[in-house]
Amino acid sequence: MTLSYSTLSTLADRVFTFMIADHGGHADPVIRNAADCHAGDWGMDIHHWDWNPGVGLIAMSAYYGAGRDEKVQACLREWVRNNAHKRNDIQAVNATAPFCILPDLYWWTEDPAYKDMALAWGDWVLDHAHRTQAGALQHTVNSAASYDKLKDQVWADTIFMAVLFLAKLTRLTGNTAYVREALRQLELHLEVLQDAETGVLFHGYDCATGDHLSGARWTRGNAWLAVATPMIVEEARKAGVSASAAVLDRYDTLVRSIVKYQATNGLWHTVMDRPSFYQESSGSAGIACGIAKAVKLGLVEASYMRYAELGLQGVVSQIADTGEVLSVSGGTPIMDTIEDYNELTCYATLYGQGLTLMLLAEFMQERSEQRHAL
């Protein structure tokens, strides 16, 4: 069954409303074992400047772009007003995600404060963020504490959390250095993360040891690149910059490979090639959204839209009447073993709500374009 614009809009509003509600003390996950790395109300705590709220904010921006509901933009402006003083608390690429909404807010409001904050952080990413010997951004999750622990590690997460932000700065400034670096980072990450055997991505890579750490072909990790790549390529095209043939070929291989692991209900398992592991909503939403974006840009064949539509159906089945997105795995570092990914508790998170909202917003736009073409 094809979901109508009206149905998608209703679902999106429900997911958005759950995101911005006060969940203090009401979102405690059950800690099952040492695999879980967050507790308390971390999953739905939007009041800090870090990657989890950042994904939610990026999704809200996409939702505003799809429906132009002024309450959504007002929510974004209020969040920045209340949290901007925290923006330098965590000097890490993972904490870059909230900055990604600042170019959008500048385009909508022309308030120079948004532009100034974005450019200051963009310069930090370009000039001071830690890198591997090959030049890839080293994944860091908080200040100095993670630099040594994650030294020379490349994670799939970084493309969505930081590299997408760099790409958006070119349209803000006219300086193509930002989007060229974004494309370079995309190519560097794909080179070391893409599995030659399956075509999908490993969660991470250790440049010092030359191995893929846990060796997990983690679904949400694949989702970060699946959805961010077409967004980065679109920014590059607007600036008159072309992605390399290597990036385009690798991305095409990624999508052609990912769909082989889609279950009949539209979802993907939390580790892509482990069908006995639980199905996971946030990664499924990100992948389906990415495929839909890629079809629109001509990065993959139009026939692949059927996988995005099936993914949409699967994710929608996981939206509760309250707006909570179910079956979202908790915050996931690179685990010690592949089996540990299946031990992570599922609970409500801003990135789970966010990736789902991005998917709904993408199909709202798609349905709207279809309607206007008639």
- For the stretch 20-36, pLDDT in tens is 998 865 555 555 555 56
CA–CA distance, 190 with 221 (Å, rounded to integer): 12
CA–CA distance, 271 with 276 (Å, rounded to integer): 9
Which neighbouring-strand residues pair with 208? none
CA–CA distance, 81 with 85 (Å, rounded to integer): 8
Nearest Cα to 157, choosing from 283, 269, 292?
283
Q: Is residue 93 pLDDT above 90, yes or no?
A: yes
pLDDT of residue 34: 56
Amino acid at residue number 227: V
Q: Is residue 145 pLDDT above 70, yes or no?
A: no
- Domain boundaries of the chain, sorted by first residue: 5-373
User: 264 versus 25: which is more confidently predicted?
Assistant: 264
Q: Pick 5-373's CATH classification: 1.10.3720.10, 1.50.10.10, 3.30.310.50, 1.10.645.10.
A: 1.50.10.10
The residues near 210 (Cβ < 8 Å, ≥ 6 apart) are none
pLDDT of residue 35: 59
Determine what percent of the chain falls in helix, strand and coil, rounding each to the nearest 5: 60, 5, 35
Q: Is residue 149 pLDDT above 80, yes or no?
A: no
pLDDT of residue 370: 82
Beta strands in the chain (DSSP E): 153-155, 204-206, 268-269, 279-280
pLDDT of residue 96: 97
pLDDT, tens digit, for every residue of 157-181?
999 999 999 999 999 999 999 999 9
pTM of this structure: 0.96
CB 165 within 8 A of CB 157: no
Output the CA torsion sign for 265, 268, 274, 276.
Answer: negative
pLDDT, tens digit, for every residue of 233-247?
999 999 999 999 999
User: 28 versus 338: which is more confidently predicted?
Assistant: 338
CB 325 within 8 A of CB 352: yes
Query: What is the rounded average pLDDT for all residues in the chain?
Result: 94
Whose structure tokens read 């979202």? Answer: 328
Which of 136-150, 207-221, 350-364 is predicted least confidently? 136-150
